[in-house]
Amino acid sequence: MSKPFDVEIDNSIAHIRFNRPEKRNSMNEDFWNLFPKEVEELDDSGEIRALIVSSTGPHFSSGIDLNMFNNDVVEDESENEPGRKAGYFKQQVLYLQNVANCLEAARFPVIAAIQGGCIGGGIDLVTATDIRLCTKDAFFIIEEINVGLVADIGTLQRLPKIIPAGIAREWALMGEKVPADRAKEVGLVSSVYDDQEEMLKNAFEIAEKLASKTPLAMWGTKEILNHSRDHSVKEGLDYVALWNAATLHKEDVMMTMMSKMQKTNPEYKNLRDKNFLKHKSKKK
């Protein structure tokens, strides 16, 4: 199983770069299997403070590799019993949704750096990131409606919470190309750059700023933003009160204040890794 992406780590900043430009970085079976595992491993370590997801070639991603439909990866024809067949298909869709869900669940912020086409599954992925940048030649298409499908990996759930809901409906129902300037106008991306080199330079500058902040507060801020998006204001306020009551770290606050006064760079502890069984075994 070959990785359809490269991974680089520089200090606390990780960079995942899709590496199938000859296939327009379509999401093949290896991608759906390996990408969530890679993100989860980065998160599990507790050492990563920011992640950049970018691509190679003229396009960010053309979405799901259609060969998956021909290889019985997405549908099981071996069962004639409709209930089991439908249940199996549902399980497959939920599994594929991990490609986007893993980015949202990660304890660090994720930056998407988009060039050229961001189509179908590409939009599913980038709408689960925290900050989206693109080049002026970028364009976005919710392609599923054009091939007789209902987008089911996250676009229909997340996009209306990022841009005005009416515009999200128009894009999803029409399936037309949306250029970079329109994407910025409605808030899908925050900045548009002349070329990929300039975009990546700025993506790393943003990542460095994010990585300089306390990872505990960064994790909490992302968690509260995600929770508040899906709940009422009252529920969001109750949740953040509970979160801070449980996790507010005075040492981080004091270190931040002292560093500002002394004009130095604070050095925060990493988050703990998630392998609690490893820590439990050490105590024996």
Q: Annotated catalytic sites, by residue?
A: 64, 121, 124, 144, 152
**DSSP letter at 141?**
E
Cβ-based neighbour number of residue 94 at 10 Å: 11
Write b or e for each residue in 62-89: b if 16 or more Cβ atoms lie within 10 A of its Cβ, otherwise e. bbbbeebeeeebbeeeeeeeeeeeeeee
Do the Cβ atoms of 153 and 99 come closer than 8 Å? yes
**DSSP letter at 271?**
P
Closest by Cα among 106, 131, 102 to 209: 131
| 176 contact partners, CB below 8 Å, separation of at least 6 | 141
List, as one string, the DSSP characters of 93-136.
HHHHTHHHHHHHHSSS-EEEEE-SEEETHHHHHHTTSSEEEEET
Do the Cβ atoms of 50 and 80 come closer than 8 Å? no
Helix (H) or strand (E) holding 202: helix 196-211
Which of left, alpha, beta for 248 (phi over 0: left; psi -120 to 50: alpha)? Answer: beta
